[in-house]
């Protein structure tokens, strides 16, 4: 079965063609808006939506050429319908519905968060549920339990800033620009991660909180008693400790020995190493390219959920907030 995946939830327009029989991605193209939004210090929703409109058709044509197929060869379309920027989501959903209607093929709505989790299975083809999954991105820091039937249960979430959001905000405080994750990681390489003591919030509860950490970093910056590199390294270490502490504690309580870590922040090499160093668990990550938003994961998720036949009608719409994943 040939599935087209469409992702437009934030600032990447990404389309991919996935062959579910051979479990291979035949084509994938992404247009990133990171440079476009960097001058604003973050994603501007209206700018993102307009750029998706400008890019999506040409990316579709490139996918057809690269995969060596025509639109008539597509068997189904998977499209992100939640969560994300509502205007950006509408672009992808509208394109998918129009194409599905024209080709008389089913459209499968895909929750962006489930796709991030399942991206690990594209990289690690031996991986199968059940497992515990941590999503760390600019908008989410959530822990899900994924059972054998691929039911997703939300167990913990951030009560304020997401991990990726805190990276962006701390980077801005340090004058590093946007996106903040890679900039913090690079600066931290020359710093002492043990130089600055920073707090881990709500240690005894499963939920995450990063606003207090952000405030503590701001106070250290204003003190001017520590170097920016030491602050960046200590901040990155504290985020990694927070993520590993809460995730492994949850895995132990549920008896899960397989852990998936996914989402844009999962590209961070320090955080990857922090998880890999923990004993007694198998930890799986998507490849760095599949950690960020991509059409591959949407097409793959659609292939997993196709059998449930929960296809979109012409009334299907986008949802900016939908944290609970329903297959």
161 appears as a binding residue in the annotation: no
255 appears as a binding residue in the annotation: no
The answer to whether residues 167 and 184 touch, using CB atoms and an 8 Å cutoff, is yes
135 appears as a binding residue in the annotation: yes
181 appears as a binding residue in the annotation: yes
Tokens of 200: 């881990």
Cis previous bond, 83, omega within 30: yes
116 appears as a binding residue in the annotation: yes
166 appears as a binding residue in the annotation: no
Cβ neighbours of 194 (radius 10 Å):
10
51 appears as a binding residue in the annotation: no
* DSSP helix/strand/coil, 109: strand
Tell me which H or E stretch contains 174.
Answer: none
- Side-chain half-sphere exposure of 243, counting CA atoms within 13 A: 34
Q: 151-155 contacts: CB < 8 A, separation 24 or more?
A: 151/327, 152/113, 152/114, 152/117, 152/324, 152/325, 152/327, 154/323, 154/324, 154/325, 155/206, 155/250
| Separation of alpha carbons 311 and 305, rounded Å | 10
Closest to 116 measured CA to CA, from 146, 77, 89: 146
168 appears as a binding residue in the annotation: yes
259 appears as a binding residue in the annotation: no
The answer to whether residues 48 and 87 touch, using CB atoms and an 8 Å cutoff, is yes
Which residue, chain included where needed, has tokens 């998720």?
Answer: 301
145 appears as a binding residue in the annotation: no
296 appears as a binding residue in the annotation: no
* DSSP helix/strand/coil, 177: coil
313 appears as a binding residue in the annotation: no
- Side-chain half-sphere exposure of 115, counting CA atoms within 13 A: 31
* Residues placed in the known binding site for substrate: 135-139, 168, 181, 185, 268
* Residues placed in the known binding site for Fe cation: 112, 116, 293
* Residues placed in the known binding site: 112, 116, 135-139, 168, 181, 185, 268, 293
């Amino acid at each position: 079965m040939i599935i087209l995946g469409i992702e437009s939830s934030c600032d990447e327009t990404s389309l991919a063609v996935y062959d579910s029989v051979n479990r291979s991605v035949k084509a994938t193209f992404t247009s990133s808006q990171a440079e476009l939004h960097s001058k604003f210090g973050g994603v501007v929703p209206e700018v993102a939506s307009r750029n998706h409109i400008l890019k999506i058709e040409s990316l579709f044509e490139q996918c057809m050429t690269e995969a060596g197929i025509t639109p008539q060869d597509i068997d189904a379309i998977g499209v992100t319908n939640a969560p994300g920027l509502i205007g950006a989501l509408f672009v992808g959903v509208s394109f998918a519905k129009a194409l599905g209607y024209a080709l008389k093929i089913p459209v499968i709505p895909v929750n962006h968060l489930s796709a991030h989790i399942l991206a690990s299975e594209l990289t690690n083809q031996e991986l199968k549920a059940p497992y515990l999954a941590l999503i760390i991105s600019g908008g989410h820091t959530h822990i899900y339990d994924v059972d054998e039937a691929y039911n997703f249960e939300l167990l913990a979430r951030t009560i304020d800033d997401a991990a990726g959001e805190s990276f962006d905000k701390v980077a801005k405080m340090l004058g590093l620009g946007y996106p903040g994750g890679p900039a913090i990681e690079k600066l931290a390489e020359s710093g002492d991660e043990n130089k600055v003591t920073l707090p881990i919030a709500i240690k005894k509860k499963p939920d995450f909180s990063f606003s207090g950490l952000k405030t503590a970093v701001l106070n250290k910056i204003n003190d001017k008693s520590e170097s920016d590199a030491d602050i960046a390294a200590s901040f990155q270490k504290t985020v990694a400790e927070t993520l590993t502490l809460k995730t492994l504690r949850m895995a132990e309580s549920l008896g899960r020995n397989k852990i998936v870590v996914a989402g844009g922040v999962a590209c961070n090499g320090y955080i990857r190493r922090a998880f890999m160093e923990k004993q007694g668990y198998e930890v799986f990550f998507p490849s760095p390219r599949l950690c960020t938003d991509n059409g591959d994961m949407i097409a793959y998720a659609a292939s997993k959920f196709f059998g449930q036949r929960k296809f979109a009608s012409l009334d299907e719409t986008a949802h900016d907030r939908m944290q609970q994943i329903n297959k």
